[in-house]
Amino acid sequence: MPTSLISESQKNTIKDIIDDIHETFARDITVYEEGEKVLIASSSQFNGIYGRTSGGESATQRTVVSHTINARIKYINADKDVFNTSSASQLGIEYIDGLVRITVDLPGFTILKEAKRCEFEGRKYTISSKGNPTGIFGPQYYHFYLSPIEE
């Protein structure tokens, strides 16, 4: 088995430097989850499995769940930036103007993988990718591609 030229303490130092860079350039973004569906029934004749069984009223309501996370943001210009077409097809992403790539750490990844949309700098985006891991010595950060929502 080959011997590593970089010791564990050197690897940890490099990871700490990368963490410092991330903290320096990261900005706050707001991430929105779909929210939980709350069923409101105004009748005692309500069956939780089959729904309303008699003349009572029922309604559903969604609660909005939001989180604030740190992310490095890169705005992509589809006309000027050159992309490897094979990587685009592997990721299943259309490169359009307004596409944004954000990089988050593990806590941000756990929030974003369940989220539907996010907002920063006055614009709203949908999440177009599943989060690709990146790092020198293993997954340290995750890239997500976002598409703008036109309102």
Does some domain include residue 51? no
Burial zone of 10 (CB within 10 Å; 0-12 exposed, 13-18 middle, 19+ buried): exposed
What is the model's pLDDT at position 52? 55
For residue range 76-135, what is the model confidence (pLDDT) as tens digits?
Answer: 876 655 555 555 555 555 667 788 999 999 999 999 998 989 999 999 999 999 899 999
Does some domain include residue 134? yes
Main-chain dihedrals φ then ψ at residue 146, nearest 5 degrees: -125, 140
Does some domain include residue 98? yes
Does some domain include residue 40? no
Does some domain include residue 14? yes
Does some domain include residue 132? yes
The answer to whether residue 58 scores a pLDDT higher than 80 is no
Q: How many domains does the chain have?
A: 1
HEC secondary structure over 110-151: HHHCCCCEEEECCEEEEECCCCEEECCCCCCEEEEEEEECCC
Range of the domain at 111: 9-33+70-148
What is the model's pLDDT at position 96? 72
Does some domain include residue 120? yes
